[in-house]
Amino acid sequence: MKIIQHPLPFWEERPRAIDSLVLHCSAHNPEDMIKVLFAEKLSSHYIIGADGQVFQLVPEEKRAWHAGKSFWRGEESLNQRSIGIELSSPSMGQETYPAKQIQSLERLCKDILRRHPAIKAQNIVAHSDVAPTRKPDPGIAFPWQELAEKGIGLWYDLANATKIKETNVAVLLSEIGYDTSNLPAAAYAFCRHFAPKYVVRCDSISHLIENVYPADFVLPAEVLPILRAVVYSYRTY
């Protein structure tokens, strides 16, 4: 895979080993995204353009500044232990990602997983998963199931829903890894990842970014079996 090197200076030494992969998107093209990251003193390890071109901004062994305040599976600050990949998406992941872009993402993720076998499927997450009150990316059109079928992350088999007896939404979301201190945000982030038809499309990107979740959101009853099936996948992988 051809990777264009475009180093940014915004990184630190890692305080711990890599065990997570966080997937993002931005409405900017790669060149503009790099300019924005530089202006904001932020970074990601990689950017993938709509044409599939891959840019590396920070070495994998360094801590990039991509996830911000975050939480997953009982631990805070995902930057310490994760690799971050940004995808260019003018719709913020609300429209289908180009095939070339996803093909490049799949190749890059597989390379990363070969280099870092400590990254388990349960720790391949969306920015919205680890920061559900703040971030909507990589969005409702991101092909999580397609990637899981190729060994990148986890999906679910609805037939397994009955194998999980727990029905408390907060307990189930917490078992997957979500911070449930804001339950509407966590439940909406879950839907973004696993049940996107329950997430309302927003044509205004600025409104989407500023209104990440409905404050009164309650997980629909028909999504509970999906939630339980996902928990089964996370328990048994």
86 is an active site residue: yes
CA gap 90, 30 in Å, rounded: 11
Q: What are phi and psi of 140, to 5 degrees?
A: -70, -20
Contacts of residue 15, defined as CB under 8 A and 6 or more positions apart, other chains included, come to 63, 80
Terminal-to-terminal C-alpha distance of the chain: 29
Q: From 120, 118, 117, 89, select the one nearest 105 (Cα to Cα).
A: 89
Tokens of 29: 């093209």
CA gap 68, 47 in Å, rounded: 17
Catalytic residue among 12, 31, 86, 106: 86
Tokens of 218: 């309650």
DSSP one-letter string for 16-70: S---EEEEEEESS-HHHHHHHHHHHT---SEEE-TT--EEE-S-TTEEES-S-S-
Q: Which residues are annotated as catalytic?
A: 86
